[in-house]
Structure 1
Amino acid sequence: MISRDSTVGISEERGAWGAVFSMSLCVAMLIASEFMPVSLLTPMAQSLDATEGLTGQAISISGIFAVAASLLMTTMAGRINRKWVLVTMTGLMLLSLVLIATAPNFALLMVARALLGICIGGFWALGTAVIMRLVPREAVSRALAIMYTGQAVAAAFAAPIGSYLGGIIGWRGVFWILVPIVAVTLMWQLLALPSMPANDRQSFRSLIDVLKRPYFARGMAAVIFTFAGAFSMFTYLRPFLETVTGADVITLSQLFLILGCSGFVGTWAGGKFANDYIVRLLQLVPLVMGAVTLGLLGFGQVVAVAAVLLAVWGAMNTSMSISWMAWLSQNVDDSPEAAGSLIVAAIQASILLGAGLGGLLLDHIGIHATFIGSALLSGLAALLVGTGNNLLKNTR
């Protein structure tokens, strides 16, 4: 016979995992909303009477606001219950999508994208800390993997689906489709997320105190080089595949789908191994990603080889985020919100920096220089990780 206490415990556990899955859906919508304009850039530019280059800034502005929001969120949120902070972020995403779908001009589009950037930075700054409060310590890496499954789904399917539907119902119609899904996400969070009062009032002093820890500062440097290396390559993957691999539109779609779907493997691996083998993962990811980038330079002319290498890269790409968030949960468990704010700001900034550096190399030297630069950044990240001992709090 099952006791009442046991029944309550099972119910609470199911509720916690329901909350984790609601966050996974929210992640999928955030990623889809953030990168959907990539596949709809041309029709959006034509509709808003703007150049494609100018419309592309709608993507970068969300990143800039995400950096600011990730640094400010935990301090400005103060003692507000973390459930209501997350619900507010999802509500702002809903508003942002409505504004994008109805934007009569480029100016309002930029305002809407800035709002989305606040949602992105705010959600990710608190995401890992919330996961740590929802599930037991031994289940954190599995819960993080579930949350990042939303990222893998969006990365694999959002762009091709958005491009296809955009040709049928127009780019505004694509964003209108996202609106009811985000509304469902909002309702799910209201029902599934438990009350999570803020533990302590965060301040900029708490951010500085965490950053002063030598192992954390070294980890932040490794994070910056790891993500900058990844995105200096990924941002310019299409021109590489078009000019070096010689891929046509159909082959491009197939290669990007392979890359996206392999992310599910990386999500599974991150959830399974991050808890016990965090140092090994932190060492492996930049080394493999750098090697794959060089492999593409050497053998990317062959479509089959490029497909295999992109599958490996895609798996590493999703395990990269899970690995660093698992490292945070294990080594800054006394101040996860402050650490989360800093690491999310570093990731968003490194994405912008990596893309900027890759673009400069592409414009002034060529695509080969962009990929070599990416591999060098990944190599520097691997050197910073080193044996991993300097990244662990118990070896300070």
Structure 2
Amino acid sequence: MPEAPEAQHRRAVMLLSVAAFASAAAARLCDPMLPDLARSFTASPTAVASVISSFAIAYGLTQAMFGPLGDRLGKYRLIALTTLLSTLGALGSAIAWSLDALVVSRVLLGATAAGIIPLSMAWIGDTVPYEQRQATLARFLGGQILGAIGGQFIGGVFTDTLGWRWAFAFLAGLYLIIGAVVLLESRANPSTHHRHADTPRQGILGQAAQVFAQPWARVILSIVFLEGMLVFGALAFVPSYLHEHFGLSLTMAGAAMAFFGLGGLSYILAARHFVRLLGEVGLATGGGILIALGWAMLAWGTTWLWALPASYFVGLGFYMLHNTLQTNATQMAPAVRGTAVSLFASSFFLGQSLGVTLAAHILAASGILPMLLIAAIGTPLVGGTLAWLLSRHHRIHSA
């Protein structure tokens, strides 16, 4: 008996979620490694932070290439290929003989992993009606959240036991297996063959210009840049802070940050209820407030135990805010959805890169308290601004 189209589509989304796990794990893998990398390469914390910021820069800049390619060649197949190619950057990181070599390998990994999550979001946008899209994206986000948890935990465990190189070797094996499975799915599952019928042949700059011509797109891209800067600039240094200030092992510091992911999972499990009760405006406002609460708890917590609820609130608030932004990103420019969502991811990761760089300098000059306070003040302002703009946007379009 042939498999129902709905079941085929759900399986396709599930596999994209697994690929997103690997992509998110790569982004967060180095967070708990920073103290050990500084010792291994005899470098300052600011210098080794470049293994995080370089990944984010490469991830952000290559979006301009993957979006139009996905619109033209087929998004699902391109996701499979970028997942397989990510094996090379992970292997290069595992055998890096210097900090510069590690940074170059991280750039390669960021450039290839960049295609996975935004193309998955765009493919979901192409194949799922808008009224069902936030719930489907929330389900897809489960893999991304588990990847953020797993990346920090895997990085900490391997660094404390076999060594940080084995964390990258493990990641390389993960990319190879997942990429092969997604490639087989792209050939066997008819629901993965969707291509947008109205895709224009304008080239990369023309498609990007079509996105930037939309005022609402400019709003979403600006806000997600600020979100990435404020949330992940601070988050990258929390495991190092717990390790150095409270004496936690790198494994325990990475495990403590798993509560960030648990906050995200709480949102995923109750996404339909959150959306129904709060709406997009409430999610944006509440998300910004919860993130600020988490940063404040971490700033003034007197023991490492405060990091657990703090990370949970930051994670819950972030996914409330980010899922709202993601849903709007899939509708910014439907005719070039792949390009639009790729520009969204580009803004997000370029914001992260700037945030990590600024946070490293603030940390070196003034300590962690000013860094966390800036994030605590900034995130509710970003969430509140988005809420006001969403309310205005809805009024205009319902008039």
TM-score normalised by the chain length of structure 2: 0.84
CA contact (8 A) 2:285 2:380 kept: no
Indicate how the Cα distance of structure 1 residues 184 and 136 shifts in structure 2: closer, same or farther if over 3 A, else same. Answer: farther
Match of 1:83 in 2: 76
Residue number among 271, 284, 288 corresponding to 1:286 in the alignment = 288
Match of 2:189 in 1: none
Indicate how the Cα distance of structure 1 residues 241 and 178 shifts in structure 2: closer, same or farther if over 3 A, else same. Answer: closer
Separation in 2, partners of 1:221, 1:318: 17
Q: Helix, strand or coil for the counterpart of 2:193?
A: coil
CA contact (8 A) 1:63 1:352 kept: yes
Match of 2:392 in 1: 390
> What pairs with 1:252-267 in structure 2 (closer than 5 Å)?
252=253, 255-267=256-268
Match of 1:3 in 2: none
Shift of 1:282: 1.9
Letter in 2 for 1:281: L
Shift of 1:93: 0.7
Query: Structure 1, residues 231-263: CA drift from partner, whole Å, max 9, x if none?
Result: 2332333466578xx633067456323333232
Match of 2:248 in 1: 249
> What pairs with 1:1-396 in structure 2 (closer than 5 Å)?
11-41=4-34, 49=41, 51=43, 53=45, 54-75=47-68, 79-193=72-186, 194-197=192-195, 199=197, 200=199, 201=201, 203-238=204-239, 241=242, 247-249=246-248, 252=253, 255-270=256-271, 273-274=274-275, 277-297=279-299, 299-301=300-302, 305-387=306-388, 388-392=390-394, 394=397
Shift of 1:349: 1.3
Separation in 2, partners of 1:92, 1:184: 12
CA contact (8 A) 1:71 1:341 kept: yes
Query: Structure 1, residues 108-139: CA drift from partner, whole Å, max 9, x if none?
Result: 43332222111232223322111123444443
Could you tell me which runs of 5 or more consecutive residues in structure 1 were left unpaired when the two chains were aligned.
1-6
Separation in 1, partners of 2:376, 2:34: 28
CA contact (8 A) 1:141 1:272 kept: no
CA contact (8 A) 1:233 1:370 kept: yes
Indicate how the Cα distance of structure 1 residues 271 and 208 shifts in structure 2: closer, same or farther if over 3 A, else same. Answer: farther
Shift of 1:185: 0.9
Separation in 1, partners of 2:243, 2:204: 48
Query: Structure 1, residues 274-307: CA drift from partner, whole Å, max 9, x if none?
Result: 488223212221232124323444x522555553
Number of residues of Structure 1 aligned to a counterpart in Structure 2:
385
Greater shift, 193-202 or 310-319, is seen at 193-202
Q: Percent identity?
A: 19
Greater shift, 80-89 or 164-173, is seen at 164-173
Q: Helix, strand or coil for the counterpart of 2:73?
A: coil
CA contact (8 A) 1:229 1:374 kept: yes
Separation in 2, partners of 1:296, 1:114: 31
Letter in 2 for 1:83: Y
Shift of 1:369: 1.9
Indicate how the Cα distance of structure 1 residues 112 and 235 shifts in structure 2: closer, same or farther if over 3 A, else same. Answer: closer
Indicate how the Cα distance of structure 1 residues 165 and 372 shifts in structure 2: closer, same or farther if over 3 A, else same. Answer: closer
Letter in 2 for 1:248: G
Separation in 2, partners of 1:260, 1:98: 26
Letter in 2 for 1:128: M
Letter in 2 for 1:100: S
CA contact (8 A) 1:99 1:112 kept: yes
Query: Structure 1, residues 88-108: CA drift from partner, whole Å, max 9, x if none?
Result: 211111222222223344454
Separation in 1, partners of 2:37, 2:367: 28
Query: Structure 1, residues 183-217: CA drift from partner, whole Å, max 9, x if none?
Result: 22112212323223354135323322322322222
Q: Helix, strand or coil for the counterpart of 1:286?
A: helix
Q: Helix, strand or coil for the counterpart of 2:72?
A: coil
Indicate how the Cα distance of structure 1 residues 43 and 384 shifts in structure 2: closer, same or farther if over 3 A, else same. Answer: closer
Separation in 2, partners of 1:219, 1:263: 21
CA contact (8 A) 1:232 1:357 kept: yes
Separation in 1, partners of 2:148, 2:281: 26
Q: Helix, strand or coil for the counterpart of 1:301?
A: coil
Separation in 2, partners of 1:344, 1:126: 10
Greater shift, 11-20 or 386-395, is seen at 386-395
Shift of 1:76: 5.1
Separation in 2, partners of 1:231, 1:177: 24
Letter in 2 for 1:284: G
Separation in 2, partners of 1:255, 1:102: 28
CA contact (8 A) 1:152 1:267 kept: no
TM-score normalised by the chain length of structure 1: 0.84
Separation in 2, partners of 1:43, 1:310: 23
Could you tell me which runs of 5 or more consecutive residues in structure 2 were left unpaired when the two chains were aligned.
187-191
